[in-house]
Homo-oligomer: A and B are copies of this chain.
Amino acid sequence: MCEASAYIIDGESEELIMEAVDTVDPEDGGFKLTNIFGEQKFINGVIYSLSLVDHKVFFKKSS
């Protein structure tokens, strides 16, 4: 399975916000994350970078 962990970059730090993320879809100016267990979370930010072989997705808060 190729799900990833989602982190939000806030200044110098990275905070884990969700594990096992499958889909990330634009919604209301941010993104809706859905993981492989069907759990959902909304992020008010943008997709900043991806490191897929490392299973990581980075978001940055909207300024």
Contacts and interface: CB of A to CB of B under 8 A. Distances in A.
Contact of A4 (B21, B26, B52): B52
| Interface of chain A, main secondary structure | strand
Interface residues of A, number: 21
A49 B21 CA distance: 12
Given A46-B46, A47-B47, A47-B50, A55 B2 contact: yes
A52 B49 CA distance: 14
A51 B1 CA distance: 12
Interface string A21-63: 1111110000000001000000000111111110101000000
Contact of A26 (B1, B49, B51): B49
